[in-house]
């Protein structure tokens, strides 16, 4: 009698439990990468998670003003670059394609810019590529799995809520020293998970910035090697071939202590290890780490500035007023609500920040005047 082959794993939790049974506990980064990007069960791979009915709402889904102002930022930056033609307009993690659609509509006011544009979307999710294809019907678009695959040439690169989806490692201070947090199977051996600490002597200890080495026991720091790698590739490209990038996300200016990993399902926070593949998993972005990685790869870095400050400098108040001129009272109230949501200090205005990168010589892009990124030195 021959043994039956093991049945295919029916869920991500099952696949992860098997992997851990074979390999031992995995890093938080590995867990996050699988939860979001597993080819079959990954959160982004199987569905469209956006919008009021989905798990969360991003700035481009709040209002068309967001993508429009970014389109105008691109047009203005293109002129500062000397108006190269063609120019690649690249978006990392475009979601539903809403930002790009709004940006292209706004960019059309500068006809030579619109004519010079070649649109490139970097997106790993087949479900979201389909969604982008529908949103951008009629636009000539090329899709890529990675930034490295975008053909050469001067580029304007936009990323909104992309870096927060890239995996982070977590290192925790214990009374014995710093130790990497790992994900193990629950003690009952089922398909549940729990955090454990790597034994003393953890390689993760080398990732702790010198300014934080003496943080009190219990402190957690996060490092995103994947985000820094993207920043380096992006910066090297801009430096060698010309262009600029606008990176918007929620985050902080590190180094800093803090466990920011969170899971959201249908607008509600859930425990981070509870529903891999069925909840969005994100971590706050360390903008200083991105800026430092980009500067080391040859690009200039500006900011970060808060999303509220950036959108105000780009003229969101005037745009809102223009939309309201032709609006019904109900629509006008919606514009006001969206404005408050995007720039309000109690909403997305302060927690969300924008970092700009540019080839040397382009100078500070609109909204980033006098905002050259200064690396903070150890006290």
Q: Does 63 bind ligand SAH (CB under 6 A)?
A: no
The residues in 273-302 that bind ligand SAH, with binding defined as CB under 6 A, are none
Q: Does 243 bind ligand SAH (CB under 6 A)?
A: no
Q: Does 249 bind ligand SAH (CB under 6 A)?
A: no
Q: What angle do CA 321, 101, 38 make, to 5 degrees?
A: 125
Q: What angle do CA 217, 352, 146 make, to 5 degrees?
A: 90
Stretch of 56-64, 237-245, 270-278, 313-321 lying at the interface with ligand SAH (CB under 6 A): 56-64
A 10 A CB-CB count for 85 gives 13
Residue positions counted in the chain: 379
Residue 256 tokens, joined: 């800093």
Quote the least distance from Cβ 246 to ligand SAH, whole Å. Answer: 12
Spell out, one character per residue from 116 to 135, where the chain touches ligand SAH: x when CB under 6 A holds, - when not: ------xxxx--x-------
Count Cβ atoms within 10 A of the Cβ of residue 105 and give its class: 0-12 exposed, 13-18 middle, 19 or more buried.
Answer: middle
Nearest CB to ligand SAH, comparing residues 15 and 100: 100
H-assigned helices in the chain: 12-23, 28-37, 59-62, 64-80, 98-107, 111-116, 126-135, 225-241, 287-296, 307-313, 316-325, 329-343, 348-351
Quote the least distance from Cβ 279 to ligand SAH, whole Å. Answer: 13
Core vs surface per residue 248-286: b (16+ CB within 10 A) or e = bbbbbbbbbeebbbbbbbeeeebebbebbbbbbbbbbbb
Count Cβ atoms within 10 A of the Cβ of residue 236 and give its class: 0-12 exposed, 13-18 middle, 19 or more buried.
Answer: middle
d(CA 305, CA 355) in angstroms, rounded, equals 7
Nearest CB to ligand SAH, comparing residues 344 and 361: 344
Q: Does 161 bind ligand SAH (CB under 6 A)?
A: yes
Quote the least distance from Cβ 43 to ligand SAH, whole Å. Answer: 9
Q: What angle do CA 203, 207, 213 make, to 5 degrees?
A: 105
Q: Which residues pair with 222 in a beta bridge?
A: 170
Q: Does 68 bind ligand SAH (CB under 6 A)?
A: no
Q: Which residues pair with 358 in a beta bridge?
A: 244, 300
Nearest CB to ligand SAH, comparing residues 208 and 234: 234
Contact 307, 352 (CB under 8 A): yes
d(CA 55, CA 79) in angstroms, rounded, equals 38
Stretch of 57-65, 171-179, 209-217, 268-276 lying at the interface with ligand SAH (CB under 6 A): 57-65
Q: Which of 25, 60, 67, 277 binds ligand SAH (CB under 6 A)?
A: 60
Quote the least distance from Cβ 251 to ligand SAH, whole Å. Answer: 14
Nearest CB to ligand SAH, comparing residues 67 and 154: 67
Binding residues for ligand SAH, total number by CB under 6 A: 19
Q: Which of 58, 64, 228, 371 binds ligand SAH (CB under 6 A)?
A: 58
Q: Does 104 bind ligand SAH (CB under 6 A)?
A: no
Q: Does 93 bind ligand SAH (CB under 6 A)?
A: yes
Spell out, one character per residue from 298 to 337, where the chain touches ligand SAH: x when CB under 6 A holds, - when not: ----------------------------------------
Nearest CB to ligand SAH, comparing residues 242 and 251: 251
Contact set with ligand SAH (CB under 6 A) = 37, 44, 50, 58, 60-61, 93-95, 99, 122-125, 128, 160-162, 165
């Amino acid at each position: 009698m021959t043994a039956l082959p093991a049945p295919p794993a029916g869920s991500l939790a099952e696949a992860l439990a098997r992997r851990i049974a074979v390999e031992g506990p995995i890093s938080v980064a590995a867990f996050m990468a699988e939860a979001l990007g597993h080819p079959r069960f990954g959160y982004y791979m199987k569905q469209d998670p956006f919008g009021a009915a989905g798990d969360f709402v991003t700035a481009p889904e709040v209002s068309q003003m967001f993508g429009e102002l970014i389109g105008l930022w691109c047009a203005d930056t293109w002129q500062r670059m000397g108006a190269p033609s063609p120019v690649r307009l690249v978006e990392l993690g475009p979601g539903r394609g809403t930002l790009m659609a709004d940006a292209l509509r706004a960019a059309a006011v500068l006809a030579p810019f619109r004519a010079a544009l070649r649109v490139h979307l970097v997106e790993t999710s087949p479900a979201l590529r389909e969604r982008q294809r529908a949103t951008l019907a009629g636009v000539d678009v090329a899709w890529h799995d990675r930034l490295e695959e975008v053909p050469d040439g001067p580029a304007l690169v936009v990323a909104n809520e992309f870096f927060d989806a890239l995996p982070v490692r977590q290192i925790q201070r214990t009374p014995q020293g710093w130790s990497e947090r790992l994900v193990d199977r629950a003690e009952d051996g089922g398909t549940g998970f729990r955090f454990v600490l790597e034994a003393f002597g953890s390689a993760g200890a080398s990732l702790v910035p010198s300014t934080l080495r003496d943080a009190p026991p219990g402190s957690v720091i996060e490092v995103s090697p994947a985000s820094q790698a993207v920043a380096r590739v992006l910066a090297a490209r801009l430096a060698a071939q010309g262009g600029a990038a606008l990176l918007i996300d929620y985050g902080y200016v590190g180094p800093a202590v803090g466990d920011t990993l969170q899971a959201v399902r249908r607008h509600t926070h859930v425990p981070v290890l509870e529903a891999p593949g069925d909840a969005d998993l994100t971590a706050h972005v360390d903008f200083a780490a991105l800026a430092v990685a980009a500067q080391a790869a040859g690009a200039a870095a500006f900011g970060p500035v808060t999303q509220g400050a950036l959108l105000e400098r780009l003229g969101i108040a005037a745009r809102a007023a223009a939309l309201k001129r032709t609006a019904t009272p109900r629509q006008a109230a919606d514009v006001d609500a969206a404005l408050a949501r995007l720039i309000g200090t109690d909403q997305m205005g302060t927690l969300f920040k924008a970092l700009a990168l540019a080839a040397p010589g382009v100078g500070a892009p609109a909204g980033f005047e006098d905002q050259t990124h200064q690396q903070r030195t150890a006290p």
